Amino acid sequence: MNQKKLLKYILIAMILGVLVGWACHSAFDAALTEKIASYFKILTDVFLRLIKMIIGPLVFATIVSGLISMGKSSSLGSVTLKAMSWFIGASLVSLLLGMGLANFFQPGAGMNLAIPVEHVDIGVSASNLSLQNFITHIFPRSFAEAMANNEILQILVFSIFFGAALAYVNHQSEEGTVIARLIDELARIMFKITDYVMAFAPVAVFAAIAAAIAVKGPKLLIDYSIFIGQFYTGLALLWAALIAVGYIFLKKDVFRLLGFMKEPAALAFATSSSESAYPKIIAGLNKFGVPKRISSFVLPLGYSFNLDGSMMYMSFAVLFIAQAYNIDLSFTQQVLILLTLMITSKGIAGVSRASIVVIAATLSMFKLPEAGILLILAIDQFLDMGRSATNVIGNSIATAVVAKSEAHDEEDLVEAQPQRADVVTPTQSSGQFS
Protein backbone atom coordinates (compact mmCIF):
# COMPACT_ATOMS: atom_id res chain seq x y z
CA MET A 1 0.00 0.00 0.00
CA ASN A 2 1.49 3.36 -1.01
CA GLN A 3 1.92 6.26 1.40
CA LYS A 4 -0.89 8.48 0.11
CA LYS A 5 -3.46 5.68 0.20
CA LEU A 6 -2.42 4.54 3.68
CA LEU A 7 -2.57 8.10 5.03
CA LYS A 8 -6.03 8.56 3.51
CA TYR A 9 -7.24 5.31 5.08
CA ILE A 10 -5.79 6.28 8.47
CA LEU A 11 -7.59 9.65 8.42
CA ILE A 12 -10.86 7.96 7.40
CA ALA A 13 -10.37 5.42 10.18
CA MET A 14 -9.88 8.22 12.75
CA ILE A 15 -13.14 9.93 11.71
CA LEU A 16 -15.06 6.64 11.73
CA GLY A 17 -13.56 5.81 15.13
CA VAL A 18 -14.83 9.08 16.62
CA LEU A 19 -18.33 8.54 15.17
CA VAL A 20 -18.61 4.88 16.23
CA GLY A 21 -17.17 5.59 19.69
CA TRP A 22 -19.56 8.50 20.19
CA ALA A 23 -22.51 6.34 19.09
CA CYS A 24 -21.54 3.55 21.49
CA HIS A 25 -21.11 6.00 24.38
CA SER A 26 -24.54 7.52 23.73
CA ALA A 27 -26.46 4.30 23.07
CA PHE A 28 -25.21 1.93 25.78
CA ASP A 29 -24.69 2.00 29.55
CA ALA A 30 -21.24 2.25 31.12
CA ALA A 31 -20.77 -1.49 31.72
CA LEU A 32 -21.70 -2.48 28.16
CA THR A 33 -19.61 0.35 26.73
CA GLU A 34 -16.56 -0.87 28.66
CA LYS A 35 -17.11 -4.36 27.27
CA ILE A 36 -17.46 -3.07 23.69
CA ALA A 37 -14.33 -0.94 24.12
CA SER A 38 -12.40 -4.00 25.33
CA TYR A 39 -13.23 -5.74 22.03
CA PHE A 40 -12.05 -2.68 20.10
CA LYS A 41 -8.81 -2.71 22.08
CA ILE A 42 -8.10 -6.27 20.92
CA LEU A 43 -7.48 -4.96 17.40
CA THR A 44 -5.21 -2.17 18.66
CA ASP A 45 -3.30 -4.55 20.93
CA VAL A 46 -2.78 -7.00 18.05
CA PHE A 47 -1.36 -4.23 15.87
CA LEU A 48 0.98 -2.95 18.58
CA ARG A 49 2.14 -6.52 19.23
CA LEU A 50 2.90 -6.91 15.53
CA ILE A 51 4.89 -3.65 15.67
CA LYS A 52 6.81 -4.92 18.71
CA MET A 53 7.43 -8.16 16.83
CA ILE A 54 9.33 -6.38 14.05
CA ILE A 55 10.97 -3.49 15.96
CA GLY A 56 13.83 -5.49 17.50
CA PRO A 57 15.01 -7.30 14.34
CA LEU A 58 14.45 -4.17 12.24
CA VAL A 59 16.53 -1.94 14.54
CA PHE A 60 19.29 -4.56 14.76
CA ALA A 61 19.44 -5.19 11.01
CA THR A 62 19.36 -1.51 9.99
CA ILE A 63 21.95 -0.40 12.55
CA VAL A 64 24.40 -3.19 11.71
CA SER A 65 23.88 -2.69 7.98
CA GLY A 66 24.43 1.03 8.44
CA LEU A 67 27.64 0.52 10.42
CA ILE A 68 29.03 -1.82 7.76
CA SER A 69 28.62 0.95 5.20
CA MET A 70 29.82 3.60 7.66
CA GLY A 71 33.39 3.10 6.58
CA LYS A 72 35.75 4.99 8.85
CA SER A 73 35.23 4.63 12.58
CA SER A 74 35.63 8.39 12.93
CA SER A 75 32.31 8.77 11.09
CA LEU A 76 30.52 6.96 13.90
CA GLY A 77 32.00 9.28 16.50
CA SER A 78 31.12 12.35 14.45
CA VAL A 79 27.53 11.24 13.89
CA THR A 80 27.09 10.33 17.57
CA LEU A 81 28.46 13.67 18.78
CA LYS A 82 26.23 15.68 16.44
CA ALA A 83 23.17 13.60 17.26
CA MET A 84 23.65 13.81 21.04
CA SER A 85 24.30 17.56 20.86
CA TRP A 86 20.99 18.01 19.04
CA PHE A 87 19.14 15.68 21.44
CA ILE A 88 20.36 17.44 24.57
CA GLY A 89 19.56 20.86 23.12
CA ALA A 90 16.09 19.79 21.94
CA SER A 91 15.32 18.13 25.29
CA LEU A 92 16.32 21.26 27.19
CA VAL A 93 14.17 23.48 24.93
CA SER A 94 11.20 21.11 25.31
CA LEU A 95 11.46 21.01 29.09
CA LEU A 96 11.89 24.80 29.35
CA LEU A 97 8.89 25.34 27.07
CA GLY A 98 6.74 23.06 29.22
CA MET A 99 7.88 24.81 32.39
CA GLY A 100 7.37 28.27 30.89
CA LEU A 101 3.84 27.48 29.64
CA ALA A 102 2.84 25.91 32.96
CA ASN A 103 3.92 29.10 34.77
CA PHE A 104 2.19 31.27 32.16
CA PHE A 105 -1.14 29.45 31.88
CA GLN A 106 -1.28 28.25 35.53
CA PRO A 107 -3.48 25.27 34.50
CA GLY A 108 -3.74 23.90 38.06
CA ALA A 109 -4.42 27.22 39.81
CA GLY A 110 -7.75 27.47 41.59
CA MET A 111 -8.32 23.72 41.97
CA ASN A 112 -7.26 23.96 45.65
CA LEU A 113 -7.02 20.21 46.19
CA ALA A 114 -6.16 18.84 49.62
CA ILE A 115 -2.97 16.82 49.81
CA PRO A 116 -4.03 13.21 50.53
CA VAL A 117 -2.89 11.89 53.91
CA GLU A 118 -3.11 8.23 52.91
CA HIS A 119 -1.40 6.56 49.97
CA VAL A 120 -3.48 6.57 46.80
CA ASP A 121 -3.14 3.84 44.20
CA ILE A 122 -2.40 5.61 40.91
CA GLY A 123 -2.17 2.46 38.84
CA VAL A 124 1.45 2.91 37.75
CA SER A 125 4.71 1.89 39.34
CA ALA A 126 6.71 4.90 40.45
CA SER A 127 10.05 3.18 40.54
CA ASN A 128 13.07 5.19 41.58
CA LEU A 129 14.69 6.35 38.37
CA SER A 130 18.22 7.32 39.31
CA LEU A 131 21.29 8.12 37.24
CA GLN A 132 22.86 4.86 38.43
CA ASN A 133 19.86 2.81 37.30
CA PHE A 134 19.77 4.60 33.96
CA ILE A 135 23.46 4.01 33.18
CA THR A 136 23.37 0.32 34.13
CA HIS A 137 20.12 -0.16 32.20
CA ILE A 138 21.78 1.01 28.98
CA PHE A 139 23.96 -2.11 28.81
CA PRO A 140 22.13 -5.39 28.19
CA ARG A 141 22.71 -8.45 30.33
CA SER A 142 21.62 -10.51 27.36
CA PHE A 143 20.95 -9.60 23.76
CA ALA A 144 18.09 -12.10 23.73
CA GLU A 145 16.54 -10.40 26.76
CA ALA A 146 16.89 -6.97 25.13
CA MET A 147 15.20 -8.25 21.97
CA ALA A 148 12.45 -9.97 23.96
CA ASN A 149 11.67 -6.78 25.91
CA ASN A 150 12.13 -4.45 22.92
CA GLU A 151 14.70 -2.38 24.80
CA ILE A 152 15.78 -0.18 21.91
CA LEU A 153 18.67 1.44 23.78
CA GLN A 154 20.10 -1.96 24.77
CA ILE A 155 19.63 -3.30 21.24
CA LEU A 156 21.44 -0.20 20.00
CA VAL A 157 24.43 -0.83 22.28
CA PHE A 158 24.80 -4.48 21.23
CA SER A 159 24.26 -3.59 17.57
CA ILE A 160 27.06 -1.00 17.72
CA PHE A 161 29.52 -3.60 19.08
CA PHE A 162 28.36 -6.24 16.62
CA GLY A 163 28.23 -3.86 13.66
CA ALA A 164 31.67 -2.36 14.37
CA ALA A 165 33.24 -5.81 14.65
CA LEU A 166 31.48 -7.06 11.51
CA ALA A 167 32.49 -3.93 9.60
CA TYR A 168 36.14 -4.52 10.52
CA VAL A 169 36.02 -8.20 9.50
CA ASN A 170 34.07 -7.37 6.33
CA HIS A 171 36.58 -4.71 5.23
CA GLN A 172 39.44 -7.18 5.77
CA SER A 173 37.92 -9.50 3.19
CA GLU A 174 38.15 -8.58 -0.48
CA GLU A 175 34.80 -10.17 -1.31
CA GLY A 176 33.11 -9.23 1.95
CA THR A 177 31.64 -11.66 4.47
CA VAL A 178 28.58 -13.84 4.05
CA ILE A 179 27.06 -12.58 7.29
CA ALA A 180 27.28 -8.96 6.09
CA ARG A 181 25.28 -9.87 2.99
CA LEU A 182 22.82 -11.80 5.18
CA ILE A 183 22.32 -8.73 7.40
CA ASP A 184 21.54 -6.60 4.33
CA GLU A 185 19.04 -9.22 3.18
CA LEU A 186 17.53 -9.33 6.67
CA ALA A 187 16.98 -5.56 6.58
CA ARG A 188 15.20 -5.87 3.21
CA ILE A 189 13.05 -8.71 4.55
CA MET A 190 12.10 -6.72 7.67
CA PHE A 191 11.03 -3.74 5.56
CA LYS A 192 8.82 -6.06 3.51
CA ILE A 193 7.29 -7.50 6.68
CA THR A 194 6.74 -3.90 7.80
CA ASP A 195 4.66 -3.27 4.68
CA TYR A 196 2.47 -6.26 5.56
CA VAL A 197 2.01 -5.08 9.16
CA MET A 198 1.26 -1.48 8.14
CA ALA A 199 -1.62 -2.64 5.93
CA PHE A 200 -3.41 -3.40 9.22
CA ALA A 201 -2.79 0.14 10.58
CA PRO A 202 -6.15 1.74 9.58
CA VAL A 203 -8.06 -1.01 11.42
CA ALA A 204 -5.94 -0.47 14.54
CA VAL A 205 -6.38 3.30 14.34
CA PHE A 206 -10.17 2.94 14.08
CA ALA A 207 -10.25 0.60 17.07
CA ALA A 208 -8.02 2.82 19.24
CA ILE A 209 -10.06 5.98 18.63
CA ALA A 210 -13.42 4.20 18.96
CA ALA A 211 -12.42 2.58 22.28
CA ALA A 212 -11.20 5.87 23.78
CA ILE A 213 -14.28 7.87 22.76
CA ALA A 214 -16.68 5.05 23.73
CA VAL A 215 -15.39 4.93 27.31
CA LYS A 216 -14.58 8.58 27.95
CA GLY A 217 -17.15 10.21 25.70
CA PRO A 218 -16.85 13.57 23.96
CA LYS A 219 -17.93 15.35 27.17
CA LEU A 220 -14.58 14.56 28.77
CA LEU A 221 -12.83 16.51 26.04
CA ILE A 222 -15.13 19.47 26.69
CA ASP A 223 -14.55 19.38 30.47
CA TYR A 224 -10.79 19.31 30.02
CA SER A 225 -10.80 21.47 26.90
CA ILE A 226 -8.84 24.35 28.49
CA PHE A 227 -6.08 22.06 29.76
CA ILE A 228 -5.93 20.14 26.47
CA GLY A 229 -5.94 23.41 24.53
CA GLN A 230 -3.05 24.79 26.60
CA PHE A 231 -1.04 21.62 26.11
CA TYR A 232 -1.61 21.51 22.36
CA THR A 233 -0.69 25.20 22.17
CA GLY A 234 2.63 24.19 23.70
CA LEU A 235 3.02 21.39 21.15
CA ALA A 236 2.30 23.84 18.33
CA LEU A 237 5.01 26.17 19.63
CA LEU A 238 7.41 23.23 19.93
CA TRP A 239 6.65 22.19 16.34
CA ALA A 240 7.30 25.76 15.21
CA ALA A 241 10.64 25.81 17.07
CA LEU A 242 11.71 22.44 15.64
CA ILE A 243 10.75 23.41 12.09
CA ALA A 244 12.46 26.81 12.46
CA VAL A 245 15.74 25.21 13.58
CA GLY A 246 15.34 22.56 10.88
CA TYR A 247 14.90 25.34 8.30
CA ILE A 248 18.25 26.84 9.32
CA PHE A 249 20.01 23.61 8.33
CA LEU A 250 17.73 22.15 5.66
CA LYS A 251 16.24 25.33 4.14
CA LYS A 252 13.07 24.58 2.15
CA ASP A 253 13.81 20.85 2.25
CA VAL A 254 12.41 20.78 5.80
CA PHE A 255 8.88 21.18 4.37
CA ARG A 256 9.50 18.33 1.94
CA LEU A 257 10.61 16.24 4.92
CA LEU A 258 7.37 17.07 6.75
CA GLY A 259 5.50 15.81 3.68
CA PHE A 260 7.17 12.42 4.08
CA MET A 261 6.37 12.43 7.80
CA LYS A 262 2.61 13.01 7.46
CA GLU A 263 1.80 9.32 7.48
CA PRO A 264 4.12 8.31 10.40
CA ALA A 265 2.90 11.30 12.45
CA ALA A 266 -0.76 10.41 11.79
CA LEU A 267 -0.08 6.81 12.76
CA ALA A 268 1.70 7.81 15.97
CA PHE A 269 -1.10 10.26 16.78
CA ALA A 270 -3.86 7.71 16.30
CA THR A 271 -2.17 4.84 18.17
CA SER A 272 -0.56 7.02 20.91
CA SER A 273 2.74 5.27 20.21
CA SER A 274 5.73 6.73 18.40
CA GLU A 275 7.15 3.20 18.33
CA SER A 276 4.38 2.15 15.93
CA ALA A 277 5.59 4.76 13.43
CA TYR A 278 9.27 3.73 13.55
CA PRO A 279 9.31 1.62 10.35
CA LYS A 280 7.50 4.32 8.38
CA ILE A 281 9.89 7.03 9.64
CA ILE A 282 12.85 4.98 8.40
CA ALA A 283 11.17 4.56 5.01
CA GLY A 284 10.28 8.28 4.81
CA LEU A 285 13.81 9.38 5.70
CA ASN A 286 15.27 7.09 3.05
CA LYS A 287 12.90 8.57 0.44
CA PHE A 288 13.91 12.05 1.59
CA GLY A 289 17.53 11.22 0.80
CA VAL A 290 19.02 10.44 4.21
CA PRO A 291 21.71 7.75 3.85
CA LYS A 292 20.57 4.53 5.48
CA ARG A 293 23.73 4.40 7.59
CA ILE A 294 22.69 7.70 9.20
CA SER A 295 18.97 7.03 9.59
CA SER A 296 19.47 3.49 10.91
CA PHE A 297 21.80 4.76 13.64
CA VAL A 298 20.47 8.19 14.65
CA LEU A 299 16.76 7.31 14.73
CA PRO A 300 17.01 4.45 17.29
CA LEU A 301 19.25 6.71 19.36
CA GLY A 302 16.62 9.45 19.12
CA TYR A 303 13.93 7.07 20.35
CA SER A 304 15.75 6.90 23.67
CA PHE A 305 17.17 10.41 23.94
CA ASN A 306 14.97 12.70 21.85
CA LEU A 307 11.29 12.36 22.72
CA ASP A 308 10.54 16.09 22.48
CA GLY A 309 6.77 15.90 22.95
CA SER A 310 7.10 13.66 25.98
CA MET A 311 9.72 15.98 27.53
CA MET A 312 7.48 19.02 27.25
CA TYR A 313 4.53 17.09 28.64
CA MET A 314 6.44 15.87 31.69
CA SER A 315 7.53 19.33 32.89
CA PHE A 316 4.06 20.74 32.10
CA ALA A 317 2.30 17.93 34.00
CA VAL A 318 4.56 18.03 37.09
CA LEU A 319 4.03 21.78 37.55
CA PHE A 320 0.28 21.39 36.87
CA ILE A 321 0.01 18.85 39.70
CA ALA A 322 1.96 21.10 42.08
CA GLN A 323 -0.35 24.01 41.25
CA ALA A 324 -3.46 21.86 41.75
CA TYR A 325 -2.38 21.13 45.34
CA ASN A 326 -1.31 24.76 46.00
CA ILE A 327 2.36 23.76 46.34
CA ASP A 328 4.47 26.78 45.52
CA LEU A 329 7.70 25.74 43.83
CA SER A 330 10.55 28.21 43.74
CA PHE A 331 12.52 28.85 40.57
CA THR A 332 15.41 26.81 41.99
CA GLN A 333 13.10 23.85 42.71
CA GLN A 334 11.67 24.03 39.20
CA VAL A 335 15.17 24.01 37.73
CA LEU A 336 16.05 20.96 39.84
CA ILE A 337 12.91 19.20 38.58
CA LEU A 338 13.88 20.11 35.03
CA LEU A 339 17.39 18.71 35.45
CA THR A 340 16.00 15.57 37.07
CA LEU A 341 13.65 15.02 34.14
CA MET A 342 16.60 15.47 31.76
CA ILE A 343 18.12 12.34 33.30
CA THR A 344 15.12 10.20 34.27
CA SER A 345 13.39 10.62 30.93
CA LYS A 346 16.22 9.11 28.91
CA GLY A 347 15.67 5.61 27.73
CA ILE A 348 11.91 5.62 28.27
CA ALA A 349 9.96 3.47 25.86
CA GLY A 350 8.21 5.03 22.89
CA VAL A 351 4.92 3.45 23.90
CA SER A 352 1.67 4.64 25.42
CA ARG A 353 1.79 5.80 29.08
CA ALA A 354 5.58 5.58 29.34
CA SER A 355 5.76 9.27 30.36
CA ILE A 356 3.36 8.66 33.25
CA VAL A 357 5.90 6.36 34.92
CA VAL A 358 8.60 9.05 34.73
CA ILE A 359 6.20 11.70 36.10
CA ALA A 360 5.25 9.41 39.01
CA ALA A 361 8.90 8.85 39.85
CA THR A 362 9.67 12.58 39.69
CA LEU A 363 6.73 13.43 41.95
CA SER A 364 8.00 10.88 44.46
CA MET A 365 11.53 12.33 44.40
CA PHE A 366 10.29 15.87 45.18
CA LYS A 367 7.63 14.81 47.73
CA LEU A 368 4.77 15.94 45.50
CA PRO A 369 1.42 14.10 45.74
CA GLU A 370 1.44 11.13 43.38
CA ALA A 371 -2.36 11.18 43.52
CA GLY A 372 -2.15 14.18 41.18
CA ILE A 373 -1.53 11.76 38.33
CA LEU A 374 -5.19 10.75 38.62
CA LEU A 375 -6.07 14.28 37.43
CA ILE A 376 -4.47 13.68 34.03
CA LEU A 377 -4.91 9.91 33.62
CA ALA A 378 -8.47 10.40 32.36
CA ILE A 379 -7.31 12.45 29.37
CA ASP A 380 -3.79 11.06 29.02
CA GLN A 381 -4.86 9.11 25.94
CA PHE A 382 -5.63 12.36 24.11
CA LEU A 383 -2.48 14.08 25.37
CA ASP A 384 -0.38 11.06 24.43
CA MET A 385 -1.62 11.28 20.85
CA GLY A 386 -0.18 14.78 20.44
CA ARG A 387 3.16 14.10 22.11
CA SER A 388 3.66 10.87 20.12
CA ALA A 389 3.22 12.73 16.83
CA THR A 390 5.61 15.42 18.10
CA ASN A 391 8.23 12.77 18.91
CA VAL A 392 8.02 11.61 15.29
CA ILE A 393 8.57 15.10 13.90
CA GLY A 394 11.39 15.87 16.33
CA ASN A 395 13.32 12.69 15.54
CA SER A 396 12.85 12.97 11.79
CA ILE A 397 14.16 16.56 11.72
CA ALA A 398 17.08 15.63 13.99
CA THR A 399 18.08 12.72 11.75
CA ALA A 400 17.83 14.81 8.58
CA VAL A 401 19.93 17.62 10.11
CA VAL A 402 22.65 15.19 11.17
CA ALA A 403 22.65 13.69 7.66
CA LYS A 404 22.90 17.15 6.15
CA SER A 405 25.88 18.03 8.34
CA GLU A 406 27.61 14.81 7.28
CA ALA A 407 26.88 15.35 3.58
CA HIS A 408 30.24 17.05 3.00
CA ASP A 409 31.78 13.60 2.96
CA GLU A 410 31.96 12.48 -0.66
CA GLU A 411 30.88 8.98 0.28
CA ASP A 412 27.71 10.34 1.83
CA LEU A 413 26.91 12.41 -1.21
CA VAL A 414 27.18 9.38 -3.46
CA GLU A 415 25.01 7.30 -1.14
CA ALA A 416 22.37 10.00 -0.79
CA GLN A 417 21.88 10.30 -4.56
CA PRO A 418 19.19 8.16 -6.21
CA GLN A 419 20.08 5.62 -8.85
CA ARG A 420 19.95 7.43 -12.19
CA ALA A 421 21.39 7.67 -15.64
CA ASP A 422 24.45 9.71 -16.58
CA VAL A 423 22.29 12.63 -17.62
CA VAL A 424 20.53 14.10 -14.61
CA THR A 425 17.51 16.31 -15.00
CA PRO A 426 16.61 19.04 -12.47
CA THR A 427 13.53 17.03 -11.49
CA GLN A 428 15.57 13.96 -10.67
CA SER A 429 18.05 15.77 -8.48
CA SER A 430 15.55 17.98 -6.67
CA GLY A 431 14.75 15.25 -4.16
CA GLN A 432 18.14 15.47 -2.48
CA PHE A 433 19.79 17.86 -0.04
CA SER A 434 20.70 21.20 -1.53
The predicted-structure confidence for 364-378, as pLDDT tens digits, reads as follows 778 888 778 878 877
pLDDT of res. 264: 92
Amino acid at 334: Q
394-422 pLDDT, tens digit per residue, is 999 999 999 998 865 544 444 444 444 34
DSSP 129: -
Kindly indicate whether the domain formed by 3-412 is annotated with CATH number 1.10.3860.10. yes
pLDDT of res. 432: 45
120-165 pLDDT, tens digit per residue, is 555 555 555 556 776 787 788 999 998 888 777 788 889 889 988 8
Does the structure show a pLDDT above 60 at 206?
Answer: yes
Secondary structure (DSSP) of 246-284: HHHHHTTHHHHHHHHTHHHHHHHHHHT-SGGGHHHHHHH
- State the chain's mean pLDDT as an integer: 81
Q: Which residue has the higher pLDDT, 326 or 272?
A: 326
Does the structure show a pLDDT above 90 at 220?
Answer: no
Other C-beta atoms within 10 Å of 9: how many?
A: 17
Question: From CA 171, how far away is CA 33, in angstroms rounded?
Answer: 60
pLDDT of res. 316: 94
Mapped to the 3 state alphabet, what secondary structure does 325-372 carry?
CCCCCCHHHHHHHHHHHHHHCCCCCCCCCHHHHHHHHHHHHCCCCHHH
